[in-house]
Amino acid sequence: MLIARGDAEVWRVTAVSLQVSAVALLLAVAAGLPTGYAFAIAPRPVAAVGSWVLHTLTALPTVVVGLALYFAFSAAGPLGWMDLLYTRTAMVVGQFILALPILAAIALTAIRSLPVAAHETAITLGVTGLRRMRLLLVEARNRQRVRLLAHERGVDARLKILIVNAERHDDAAPQSGHDAFSEPLLLVAGVVHRRGA
């Protein structure tokens, strides 16, 4: 309601939030994609450890990051001399820490899912450094799009099967606990199908 009325304070807070999130995301992309790429092309033991670390950090609680930064930037903390507590910079740092492992893990998983032929083709073409990383990330992005489309069609087909079975046995009482358990799933499938129709 305040946004609709054009409240200046609400718009200012919204602008600050969007600015902080945008800066943190750009920094996380700039650091996360190369990090994921470096682990993806590293030797298998290093890649395995890197994957484990990154995927573990993706579950890092926001409260833990906030408390750690609070103690670090407080007057008695090791970074208190920077006087960053309760500033936009501290907010950017916190969001950067949360977003970095997620983006790095996505890049690592995407590149490792590519066939060996993609890496060999890049080497044959003499593509190295940042150009090779960009080429492989683009290829991985395109393959992920195809997988998502295929998964969507598969889910749609399963939902249609559930709906047909639900309509076929609409008048029949459940004969077992399994059938009774399946009723909520069939109901959800029907709602999703009707919304998509």
- Both tokens of 95, joined, read 């969001």
The pTM assigned to this predicted structure is 0.68
Q: How far apart are CA 10 and CA 2, in angstroms?
A: 7
What pLDDT is recorded for position 120?
77
Which candidate, 84, 106, 122, 85, places its Cα nearest to that of 39? 106
**Span of 90-94, 112-116, 155-159 with lowest mean pLDDT:** 155-159
Q: How far apart are CA 24 and CA 100, in angstroms?
A: 9
Task: Give the Å distances, CA to CA, from 37 to 71, 81, 123, 132.
Answer: 32, 35, 15, 10
pLDDT digits (tens, 9 = 90+) for 21-35: 999 999 999 999 999
Which candidate, 45, 44, 38, places its Cα nearest to that of 132? 38
Looking at the predicted structure, is the pLDDT value of residue 12 above 70? yes
Phi-psi region of 91 (alpha: psi -120 to 50; beta: other; left: phi over 0): alpha
pLDDT digits (tens, 9 = 90+) for 75-100: 889 999 999 988 999 999 999 999 99
**Span of 52-56, 64-68, 143-147 with lowest mean pLDDT:** 143-147
